[in-house]
Structure 1
Amino acid sequence: MSTAEDLFITVMDGERPVGRGDLSLALAGAELIDLIGAGAVTVRDGRIVPGGPATLGDGLTGEAAAALTRQAPYEWIEDWLWRRGNGLSDAYQAALEASGELRPRRSGRSPFGGSRLEPADTPASRRARDRWSERDPVLVALATVVGVEDEPDDRDEDAPGLDDEAVTTVVAAVHDAVMELEAVRQRRTIENAAFANLWRGP
């Protein structure tokens, strides 16, 4: 399983609602982190620089590698998150459902609202859950960005830390993109309320 798949399962296991747009941005970041780990890309001054050929076992991660911009000056991380992340949560849901990693939800609330799926009890999903229970720093960081749990207190010595500068840069970019998306939502809410008040009149 890839980091993106593990993140998707972690979100579905959680109780807090997670926006599909937020998750899509984080999934794009997770893919990029796996590409860094595989040596398929490096990060240089905030841009994604393709590397040599790499073995990528996951179909969607392979698609991500194929979607890289391979001409200088290369793509900004933020631009990649928005471009690659467009509809990505739906793509992962479809892929995991097709592979049997998701099953009809038996009971309880879904973090996706109307979604009636939940992770199946498979070796892959158990590995994802083990990674979460072991507090894998990358998985915890991405899940925290989308609100699976609260941001850790800076004074919390038990909070997992990232020890790779490129990965840290990607996580920070995901955080900024999610905050930007939330700002857009709030602005639209205010605009819609003002429009409704205009038609409602005094």
Structure 2
Amino acid sequence: MTTPRDLLFVAMDLESSRTLERGSLSLALAGAELIDLLDAQAISLDGDRIVPGYRPTVADRLMDEAASALDQQPPYESVYDWLWRRGRGLSTAYLTALEAEGQLTRQPRSRWLPFRTGGQMTLADSPERRGAASRWTSGEPLLAGLAAPLGIRGERTEEPADVDDTAVETVLAAVTDAVNELEFERQRRAIDEEAFSNIWRGPGG
């Protein structure tokens, strides 16, 4: 299994302090991909710039796509910019992959997942799902650091994860910043829409 898939399983299985938006989850999944690419030595970081390295053979199709999507030319792409570019629609891509593999099924009357998916879906009991749960319950700082800004199992937090790798810390910090920016933009739009609605209704509305 990969860190993005484990994060997705955790997001589906555990309670969140708020409804998980696909956009926020997509940003975190893009960050998880970077962390796995760092671990595989497929990339390194020069400050916050993603420098391509060894190009491994990756069995997971989406991770292979991530490795192929890296900017190969200096000055390279920042982690923050990668999250927004790679993250576009990424949660949908992972959900589609799980469904195609039979690990995710749509059921009209079932506990629906704690983020907006456009339909009710349930996870199959699988070794991959159990592996992700084991990784979560072990208290792994990396997975916890990705889940924290999403509010999974508790309030959202901006406390840095307790990891001993500067590059991973950089990725986790960028994920937190990007999720916060997206949340701020959602709140701003909600305020604007409410203000417009009040104007439309008028004093007597």
| TM > 0.5 | yes
Q: Which position in structure 1 is the counterpart of 2:77?
A: 75
Q: Which position in structure 1 is the counterpart of 2:140?
A: 136
Q: 1:57–1:117: structure 2 CA closer, same or farther, 3 Å change rule?
A: same
- Deviation at residue 160 of structure 1 after TM alignment: 6.8
Q: CA RMSD in A?
A: 1.9
CA distance in 2, matches of 1:108, 1:102: 13
CA distance in 1, matches of 2:93, 2:61: 11
Structure 1 unaligned blocks of 5 or more: none
User: 1:31 is aligned with what amino acid?
Assistant: E
Local SS of the residue matching 1:55: coil
Q: Which position in structure 2 is the counterpart of 1:93?
A: 95
User: 1:178 is aligned with what amino acid?
Assistant: V
Deviation above 6 Å: which 4+ runs of structure 1?
A: none
| Mean Cα deviation higher: 41-50 or 115-124 | 115-124
- Deviation at residue 40 of structure 1 after TM alignment: 0.4
Q: Which position in structure 1 is the counterpart of 2:191?
A: 190
- Deviation at residue 186 of structure 1 after TM alignment: 0.8
Which of the numbers 91, 113, 137 marks the counterpart of 1:110? 113
1:121-149 deviations in Å (ceiling 9; x for gaps): 11111111111111121111111121102
Q: Which position in structure 1 is the counterpart of 2:171?
A: 170
Q: Is the 8 A contact 1:22 1:146 kept in 2?
A: yes
- Deviation at residue 118 of structure 1 after TM alignment: 2.1
Q: Is the 8 A contact 2:112 2:121 kept in 1?
A: no
Q: Which position in structure 2 is the counterpart of 1:161?
A: 162
CA distance in 2, matches of 1:130, 1:61: 22
What is the TM-score with the length of structure 2 in the denominator? 0.90
CA distance in 2, matches of 1:153, 1:146: 10
CA distance in 2, matches of 1:115, 1:18: 14
Q: Is the 8 A contact 2:113 2:120 kept in 1?
A: yes
Q: Is the 8 A contact 1:15 1:109 kept in 2?
A: no
Which of the numbers 22, 40, 58 marks the counterpart of 1:38? 40
CA distance in 1, matches of 2:138, 2:164: 16
- Deviation at residue 153 of structure 1 after TM alignment: 10
- Across the two proteins, how many residue pairs are aligned to each other? 198
Q: Which position in structure 2 is the counterpart of 1:84?
A: 86
| Mean Cα deviation higher: 129-138 or 106-115 | 106-115
Q: Is the 8 A contact 1:38 1:54 kept in 2?
A: yes
Q: Is the 8 A contact 1:136 1:160 kept in 2?
A: no
Instruction: Give identity over the alignment, percent.
Output: 52
Structure 2 unaligned blocks of 5 or more: none
What is the TM-score with the length of structure 1 in the denominator? 0.91
Q: Is the 8 A contact 1:13 1:118 kept in 2?
A: no
